[in-house]
Structure 1
């Protein structure tokens, strides 16, 4: 079944048809077109190896490139004979070996007359066990959507028994096992090797550390809560844990898309987290109920993300198209899955294997270190350990950094050790999550929402307020009211000080759908906020306001 919009216009189509062409090859990016690979000399071979090295580097340093064999530079589909393809693949693998990379075939497209196109993934084998690519995905949706169950099937390889057996390994507390509902954020990993094989249930790896060490790509799932009274945990998962993408799950047998699911979708959109959807529990859904669910989903998606077209993923061809177009912010992929029959699981694996990590801006790479603290531990024999995300710069073992704000001050600490996905490493670069053992000459008590900043003099000064280019998503924001601001790992009570629209006259209220520059001041204590951060402000009503930080204020 290929769903359509109410106006009847088809919105999903395979990217390759024998009568179609691709867009012309571009010089930048990690996609390379080749009519055939048949180097006539060693100089030509070395040139092709250099070209591949450049394409691998174009994936934001993540060591992945797509090679289309049998496609001209202008995007027209030529196709190759069996012998030409065998020769081209042999040469492609020889080129990859020169760069310590591996080639895997994504799909084959038949063009007629015995000719076909091969699409391949070239992925580096990382010599450093800590150089794997990590893609972070937050799972959201109602508590009846089967999020934890599906993650259990994905990471363990065994189908569910229909009563939630697959989810038990993800639960952390006894009451979660008894109720079947997640009450805290759970973290799970899924590893792929350089050939794209899932390693979690290959039989050779027994622990988290072994899976990560052997992986070229690691998918970190941030399993968020689905019950409405745990919404604050879900928001923290979408802000403090810094996901690259969000995966919203909707049960196919539902009578109506729940308010919780709609709320999660709007929060993802407000925070700018790219979203793909899984329609779950397909094994117990009727065709009528499934059609009703899809119609409602399409309506909600058109309202919340009009720039993205819903895209049904139904085979390997549409998986590849989805993975490429999704990163370009043009589509919202929709998968159909069942944790009992494992329908759609192989397509989801292919999608995750091809999904690219969003590039880190050059300014974040080159600027001073900013590490957002999301977890704090005091371990016997180790001392203080902080976990979180390195938002900018590079952090090395033995570095001296500022931590705070603690009672509106910053204190110097030393980085004793760093772990990434439980594996020891010597550094964290921008965009990487990790945990660090720290020590200080004075007694300190770090907490969530604090930061580690690059050392220097004078010490940093925390912020007492910030300005946001805001959009009111729902409710009415009134000047003088208090609300809770979520910004990265920071969760703070703030007060609305001013509302300044584009006109000269200042407003007392900001209604749903209106935009303005809104100043918020901290109520209880100062915090460290970064310019350009996405902010979500929530108050009673419910009032939701989102935007980006444009100015910062200090005492």
Structure 2
């Protein structure tokens, strides 16, 4: 019996024996274990009783147990646990141990999902980078390039995808990212934090509106941070973002960037423009500039009412008011009640196949508490049916957890299904067998349409992670124009979906934008 030679990278580490380990050596081994956990996405495997070249030596049972005890102590130093161990007798009275180590946190930190919106080049990614990295920008987009997801985003300076980063705080209000070797290491930030803000950086260009709506609707948004550039002001796209967020009744605050580059009069004119837009029917909110710490509590209380929109004027180059914005973010209260009744419901956004684990899905917990080893339904399949699967494990920000609550964005390893049949928009639900529908009724309001919407009209619906074309089968008022509302019977064009009464959706087609609330689901039309 022989193992392959140990690799300097990867999640597998060989240890012949650990005995009489000094405190300094423990610290070194903890750093090594942390590296292996990072390489393994939160998991590492230690093989005890084997040399670095893979030769099986074996230990007596006492030495083996002592070495595993040392590994448990090392794991506890970095918030990890021994999740599984196996002892194999390789020859008489000589043993090898295989130990699975996992990053683990008993309770998920308080989570708040913050959608970062705004026109292209407004400075969304730069604000995000400044907060997470604790650095100032060089004026040429250095911070933006550090957090961009794709090479073309670095080159163009435009975010085309949804980029999610986490900003962690400890109980003292200190940003934990700044205490980590890698400020963007989600696992370490989560372990160190008592509160985590998930910054969902959305594309600002009109061509990426589909992506923007997906990010806004699909991740249980708590607050919207609208970023407005001090150069261009509130653009047409920025106004549309503001209108959509307002109609969806998200609490909004605004960050005006680049204030170091332009005269005070120009920045004040932008603020006045924002105030005027806020008076428009359908938005109807009050603007409050946050100038110092004395304004923070008033801003938070006003934000909670949904009527007040705090404004910050910052510079990511000089650092002006960045600390003030940081303290405001720390004070943001959770909007989830965590007591929402009903069985857990998760809408799936992404699907992966992980070697050695199988299918893994990323999704938002819409209600309830999902636990490890829960037996749940997954679907709907294309024929409308659901299948039972087991939740093998759950991770939040690459940290294994026992359970997740409403508002969390987590990954779930599922057993009992092939990756190929899972798609975005499906759900995990722990309930009596759910039903998918082809048709439903909704109360619809048209935000903008160049002409008239009539029966037979087709648009793309966005609801949580569902994105599918729907047809307006019957309109109670027969037709709809901008600003009008009506009861509408709608039909999914391609496959059934799982939806519930009261759920909110956005529909779009070209320049058309509208909002709807599911009012009735006809069980006779269930798939």
Q: TM-score, normalised by structure 1?
A: 0.72
Q: Is 1:543 aligned to residue 507 of structure 2? A: no
Structure 2: gaps (5+ residues): 1-103
Residue 258 of structure 1 aligns with which residue? 235
Supply the distance in 2 between the matched residues of 1:416 and 1:465 (Cα, whole angstroms). 34
Distance of aligned partners of 1:168 and 1:129 in 2 relative to their CA distance in 1, 3 Å threshold: farther
Q: In structure 1, which of residues 333, 337, 344 is the aligned counterpart of residue 321 of structure 2? A: 344
Within 5 Å, give how 1:478-489 maps onto structure 2: 478-489=454-465
Within 5 Å, give how 1:160-171 maps onto structure 2: 160-171=137-148
Alpha-carbon RMSD across the aligned residues, in angstroms, is 1.8
Supply the distance in 2 between the matched residues of 1:138 and 1:304 (Cα, whole angstroms). 23
Within 5 Å, give how 1:312-461 maps onto structure 2: 312-360=289-337, 362=339, 365-407=340-382, 408-440=384-416, 444-456=420-432, 459-461=433-435
How far the C-alpha of 1:526 sits from its partner, in A, is 0.7
SS at match of 1:175: helix
How far the C-alpha of 1:392 sits from its partner, in A, is 1.6
Residue 107 of structure 1 aligns with which residue? none
Name which one, 1 or 2, has greater alpha-carbon Rg. Answer: 2
Distance of aligned partners of 1:265 and 1:128 in 2 relative to their CA distance in 1, 3 Å threshold: same
Q: In structure 2, which of residues 466, 473, 478 is the aligned counterpart of residue 508 of structure 1? A: 478
Contact 1:270–1:536, Cα closer than 8 Å, also in 2 = no
Distance of aligned partners of 1:334 and 1:304 in 2 relative to their CA distance in 1, 3 Å threshold: farther
Supply the distance in 2 between the matched residues of 1:419 and 1:441 (Cα, whole angstroms). 19
The farther-off stretch of 205-214 and 183-192 is 205-214
SS at match of 1:201: helix
SS at match of 1:311: strand
Q: In structure 2, which of residues 129, 135, 157 is the aligned counterpart of residue 180 of structure 1? A: 157
How far the C-alpha of 1:352 sits from its partner, in A, is 0.6
Supply the distance in 1 between the matched residues of 2:503 and 2:443 (Cα, whole angstroms). 11
How far the C-alpha of 1:387 sits from its partner, in A, is 0.7
Contact 1:130–1:423, Cα closer than 8 Å, also in 2 = no
Supply the distance in 1 between the matched residues of 2:268 and 2:295 (Cα, whole angstroms). 20
Supply the distance in 1 between the matched residues of 2:245 and 2:203 (Cα, whole angstroms). 14
Supply the distance in 2 between the matched residues of 1:297 and 1:223 (Cα, whole angstroms). 21
Structure 1: gaps (5+ residues): 1-126, 501-506
Distance of aligned partners of 1:135 and 1:299 in 2 relative to their CA distance in 1, 3 Å threshold: same
Residue 471 of structure 1 aligns with which residue? 445
Contact 1:253–1:286, Cα closer than 8 Å, also in 2 = no
Supply the distance in 1 between the matched residues of 2:139 and 2:495 (Cα, whole angstroms). 48
Within 5 Å, give how 1:110-259 maps onto structure 2: 129-202=106-179, 207-254=185-232, 257-259=234-236
How far the C-alpha of 1:446 sits from its partner, in A, is 0.8
Q: Is 1:496 aligned to residue 465 of structure 2? A: no
Residue 527 of structure 1 aligns with which residue? 497
Supply the distance in 2 between the matched residues of 1:357 and 1:388 (Cα, whole angstroms). 19
Contact 1:129–1:214, Cα closer than 8 Å, also in 2 = no
Q: TM-score, normalised by structure 2?
A: 0.76
Q: Show CA shifts across 1:232-286 (max 9, x none).
A: 00000000122111110111122x5321111111121222222110011101112
Q: Show CA shifts across 1:181-232 (max 9, x none).
A: 1110001111111111111113567632111111111111000001111110
Supply the distance in 2 between the matched residues of 1:523 and 1:156 (Cα, whole angstroms). 45
Residue 56 of structure 1 aligns with which residue? none
Supply the distance in 2 between the matched residues of 1:173 and 1:245 (Cα, whole angstroms). 26
Q: How many residues are paired up?
A: 417
SS at match of 2:421: coil
Contact 1:266–1:304, Cα closer than 8 Å, also in 2 = no
Q: Show CA shifts across 1:85-105 (max 9, x none).
A: xxxxxxxxxxxxxxxxxxxxx
Q: Show CA shifts across 1:54-86 (max 9, x none).
A: xxxxxxxxxxxxxxxxxxxxxxxxxxxxxxxxx
Contact 2:336–2:406, Cα closer than 8 Å, also in 1 = no
Q: Show CA shifts across 1:452-509 (max 9, x none).
A: 11153xx322111222222211113221110111111111100001222xxxxxx221
Supply the distance in 2 between the matched residues of 1:216 and 1:327 (Cα, whole angstroms). 21
Distance of aligned partners of 1:442 and 1:329 in 2 relative to their CA distance in 1, 3 Å threshold: closer
SS at match of 2:176: coil
